[in-house]
A and B are shown apart, each in its own frame.
Chain A
């Protein structure tokens, strides 16, 4: 095997020297040896800040097919980009979901709440209040719009960046913080790493932390819905980097074979820690197009566009609820922040990489303003209100304690391994005197 930079390089013949038809011994000697290709992102930390030239369909230009369309007739959708909001904040084209101003303001409120919450918790980690945190900065429209387009009884199989689902469903912020601080009131009894929440009553499946593992479970949940004859559905999320896992392929197989009422969401935020999406084997293709070989619709959407994200999710949910099977959605976005509090993106990507599709909060704000339904004053007041809300919750949670100051009773360390502890767990608990 030849690796770039090794002395073997000079043995290689440039491809243009070949005339592919030659079969003589000399011509064969000149055949270019295959070289190991190691992909590289367009730019690294010292490189340009422009994002290159992603294919962007103009807002409003992509067709909106009937939900009952056959997957074979939807293949083009996987290579377009569904967009509704244009640069001036106008909503264009057939995918405009026609949400009321109140609904739009609710979406904005939830996105901002998520952003404020993330900011406070990120800072909290920096102040030593917990071990770990992950923000969803720049990706807020995904969980908020998608959750609003789903029904409350639809089960969501989240990644670690899906806290917006809980926020949109009004899960108590204090309980999220208690979990983040692993304090005495942690609803998960200190068993789980910060941010990997679980909230069955809010349709939020226990987040794993092992990437990709839950996407096929969402298909199983959906199969269960269909088996039981209900019209609730499931939705699973996976990062574009994690689509490289076998779990993703298995999820597509099961969703296709059993026509499961599930929405499979690939959050393509361009980066998987320091690995660019080029390490997911997508090349010049799209993640949405992974669906095509499974006879499933694959739709790529501008996920910094609240309206487009809502509309595409609503379309897929309706299709699933009608028994027409799964949809794969590629949510095209950009991870604006670090991967996690343990990450420093300035060591592998341009510090000010400019995402051509803007910021989801700014774009929805602009739209509401263009409608005459929002103002700078109202925006400032809302941010103030949400900041106060988060601060109040934080005070309440920190009164119980942050990581290390407060924790659940050590005896609960042995709870929930099995429904009932066996003799080993009882003995081990006793050995600690708890």
Chain B
């Protein structure tokens, strides 16, 4: 066991997998010698060698395409896209190729690759370092989408992704790389050290894909979130003073639908929180599923708290960012109904 922040946990996941499986290799822009702009791959090239962890050209299409070619051969590439905001040049390869290879070849070929990418706001990154594009991946048949919210989950989930036989997009909420930021700007900066989920095994373990985590049990309402918004939601629960059940999805596809139904059927009320723009966001999907399957258990309308439908702004970071105040307001409305 060691105390790790989320970056160290992600680094450790790749380290463990490079050690365990010679088919695993890691590459991305600045990911080799330098160890990545966020240092997620720090030391891996030095420890495992130039061929196991290396730099890639500034060509996201090529990074994904090369990884598909390797993965189809039986290797398990884990590639880094420097920011989720730069994943679009590789989007066609993920959507038209990686996602469909197994289907169109009827299982003759498949591509077990993992695409890691830091995503989300809260770092004054403006529109080129803050986006949350998960819904354009969850919309696509054939890929899995995973978003951790703690160091423990990050390592265990990433190992599961690398071992998974389907292509996975693994979005890392970069605002909580170093600490469980909950959106309360007046609070002193907190590191992971005091958080229970910063206790991470040094070696191999997995957190299964497709399993949500109940972060807090409660009976008043269900809050569904992932990534940074899990921590924001916990702060909002405190501010609103309610006995909420907080569910961290961890995997968006495949979705742990039973965890959602069980909780909503118990509480009868629900708030869904994500950073991404609201329109066609993943929250809409969850809301529809609940409406279709738990309608008779609902005591009030479901609310979504999401990013506004603007590009991610710079000066208005904290006006735009989904903070605990907005979530608490939604909680109060849903409880008042």
Asked whether A419 lies within 8 Å of B166 as measured between CB atoms, the reply is yes
Task: Enumerate chain A residues within 8 angstroms of B62, measured Cβ to Cβ.
Answer: 216, 219, 250-251, 253-254
Q: Which of B27-52 contact A (CB under 8 A)?
A: 51
Task: Enumerate chain B residues within 8 angstroms of A108, measured Cβ to Cβ.
Answer: none
Interface-central residue, A191, A222, A253, A418, by most chain B CB under 10 Å: A418
Task: Enumerate chain B residues within 8 angstroms of A418, measured Cβ to Cβ.
Answer: 102, 142, 144, 166, 254
Q: Is A206 an interface residue (CB 8 A)?
A: yes
Shortest CB-to-CB span from A412 to chain B, Å, is 8
Residue of B nearest to A215 (CB): B65
Q: Is B25 an interface residue (CB 8 A)?
A: yes
| Docked pose: A222 CA to B255 CA in angstroms | 35
Partner of B69, one of A188, A200, A219, A415: A219
Shortest CB-to-CB span from A115 to chain B, Å, is 27
Asked whether A205 lies within 8 Å of B72 as measured between CB atoms, the reply is yes
How many chain A residues sit at the interface, stated as a range, is 35 or more
Q: A220 with B69: in contact, given A213-B93, A227-B75, A417-B142 (CB under 8 Å)?
A: yes
Asked whether B65 lies within 8 Å of A188 as measured between CB atoms, the reply is no
| Docked pose: A82 CA to B141 CA in angstroms | 46
Q: Is A56 an interface residue (CB 8 A)?
A: no
Asked whether A221 lies within 8 Å of B93 as measured between CB atoms, the reply is no
Asked whether B72 lies within 8 Å of A213 as measured between CB atoms, the reply is no
Asked whether B59 lies within 8 Å of A224 as measured between CB atoms, the reply is no
Q: Is B299 an interface residue (CB 8 A)?
A: no
Task: Enumerate chain A residues within 8 angstroms of B51, measured Cβ to Cβ.
Answer: 227
Size of interface on B: residues with Cβ below 8 Å to A: 43
Residue of B nearest to A213 (CB): B97
Residue of B nearest to A423 (CB): B257
Task: Enumerate chain B residues within 8 angstroms of A228, measured Cβ to Cβ.
Answer: 73, 75
Asked whether B66 lies within 8 Å of A198 as measured between CB atoms, the reply is no
Q: Is B105 an interface residue (CB 8 A)?
A: yes
Q: Is B188 an interface residue (CB 8 A)?
A: no
Asked whether B69 lies within 8 Å of A218 as measured between CB atoms, the reply is yes
Task: Enumerate chain A residues within 8 angstroms of B67, measured Cβ to Cβ.
Answer: 220
Asked whether B66 lies within 8 Å of A206 as measured between CB atoms, the reply is no
Q: Is B61 an interface residue (CB 8 A)?
A: yes
Q: Is A217 an interface residue (CB 8 A)?
A: yes
Q: Is A387 an interface residue (CB 8 A)?
A: no
Q: Is A225 an interface residue (CB 8 A)?
A: yes
Asked whether A217 lies within 8 Å of B69 as measured between CB atoms, the reply is yes
Partner of B105, one of A155, A188, A223, A224: A188
Task: Enumerate chain A residues within 8 angstroms of B69, measured Cβ to Cβ.
Answer: 157, 216-224, 234
| Docked pose: A228 CA to B257 CA in angstroms | 40
Shortest CB-to-CB span from B57 to chain A, Å, is 5
Q: Which of A240-257 contact B (CB under 8 A)?
A: 246-247, 249-251, 253-254, 257
Task: Enumerate chain A residues within 8 angstroms of B57, measured Cβ to Cβ.
Answer: 250, 253-254, 257
Q: Is B109 an interface residue (CB 8 A)?
A: yes
Q: Is A340 an interface residue (CB 8 A)?
A: no
Q: Which of B202-259 contact A (CB under 8 A)?
A: 210, 253-255, 257
Q: A198 with B108: in contact, given A220-B67, A224-B73, A418-B102 (CB under 8 Å)?
A: yes
| Docked pose: A219 CA to B108 CA in angstroms | 20
Asked whether A217 lies within 8 Å of B142 as measured between CB atoms, the reply is no
Q: Is B135 an interface residue (CB 8 A)?
A: no
Task: Enumerate chain A residues within 8 angstroms of B102, measured Cβ to Cβ.
Answer: 416-419
Asked whether A253 lies within 8 Å of B59 as measured between CB atoms, the reply is yes
Interface-central residue, B96, B141, B254, by most chain A CB under 10 Å: B254
| Docked pose: A254 CA to B253 CA in angstroms | 31
| Docked pose: A423 CA to B69 CA in angstroms | 29
Q: Is B92 an interface residue (CB 8 A)?
A: yes
Residue of B nearest to A188 (CB): B106
Partner of A213, one of B66, B75, B96: B96
Task: Enumerate chain A residues within 8 angstroms of B66, measured Cβ to Cβ.
Answer: 216-217, 219-220, 223, 254
Task: Enumerate chain B residues within 8 angstroms of A286, measured Cβ to Cβ.
Answer: none
Shortest CB-to-CB span from B92 to chain A, Å, is 7
Asked whether B141 lies within 8 Å of A416 as measured between CB atoms, the reply is no
Shortest CB-to-CB span from B28 to chain A, Å, is 13
Q: Is A199 an interface residue (CB 8 A)?
A: yes
Q: Is A422 an interface residue (CB 8 A)?
A: yes
Q: Is A150 an interface residue (CB 8 A)?
A: no
Q: Is A208 an interface residue (CB 8 A)?
A: yes
Asked whether A416 lies within 8 Å of B109 as measured between CB atoms, the reply is no
Shortest CB-to-CB span from B136 to chain A, Å, is 17
Shortest CB-to-CB span from B107 to chain A, Å, is 5
Q: A417 with B92: in contact, given A251-B62, A253-B59 (CB under 8 Å)?
A: no
Q: Is A134 an interface residue (CB 8 A)?
A: no
Q: Is A350 an interface residue (CB 8 A)?
A: no
| Docked pose: A157 CA to B105 CA in angstroms | 13
| Docked pose: A253 CA to B66 CA in angstroms | 11
Partner of B254, one of A189, A250, A415, A422: A422
| Docked pose: A419 CA to B57 CA in angstroms | 31
Residue of B nearest to A206 (CB): B105
Q: Which of A402-429 contact B (CB under 8 A)?
A: 415-419, 422-424
Asked whether A219 lies within 8 Å of B107 as measured between CB atoms, the reply is no
Shortest CB-to-CB span from B145 to chain A, Å, is 12
Asked whether A191 lies within 8 Å of B104 as measured between CB atoms, the reply is yes
| Docked pose: A198 CA to B104 CA in angstroms | 8
Q: Is B110 an interface residue (CB 8 A)?
A: yes
Asked whether A221 lies within 8 Å of B108 as measured between CB atoms, the reply is no
Asked whether A419 lies within 8 Å of B257 as measured between CB atoms, the reply is no
| Docked pose: A216 CA to B107 CA in angstroms | 21
| Docked pose: A234 CA to B65 CA in angstroms | 14
Q: Is A131 an interface residue (CB 8 A)?
A: no
Q: Is B311 an interface residue (CB 8 A)?
A: no
Shortest CB-to-CB span from A235 to chain B, Å, is 12
Task: Enumerate chain A residues within 8 angstroms of B107, measured Cβ to Cβ.
Answer: 415-416
Q: Is A187 an interface residue (CB 8 A)?
A: yes
Task: Enumerate chain B residues within 8 angstroms of A253, measured Cβ to Cβ.
Answer: 57, 59, 62
Asked whether A220 lies within 8 Å of B141 as measured between CB atoms, the reply is no
Q: Which of B116-164 contact A (CB under 8 A)?
A: 141-142, 144, 164
Asked whether A246 lies within 8 Å of B89 as measured between CB atoms, the reply is yes
Q: Is A196 an interface residue (CB 8 A)?
A: yes
Interface-central residue, A188, A200, A254, by most chain B CB under 10 Å: A254
Give residues in B with beta carbon < 8 Å to A: 25, 51, 57, 59, 61-62, 65-75, 89, 92-93, 96-97, 101-110, 141-142, 144, 164-166, 210, 253-255, 257
> A210-B96, A220-B68, A419-B164 given. 4 additional CB < 8 A pairs?
A188-B105, A416-B102, A418-B166, A419-B165
Q: Which 10 A-B pairs have the closest CB atoms?
A: A220-B69, A220-B66, A250-B62, A216-B65, A198-B105, A206-B105, A221-B69, A422-B254, A217-B69, A224-B70
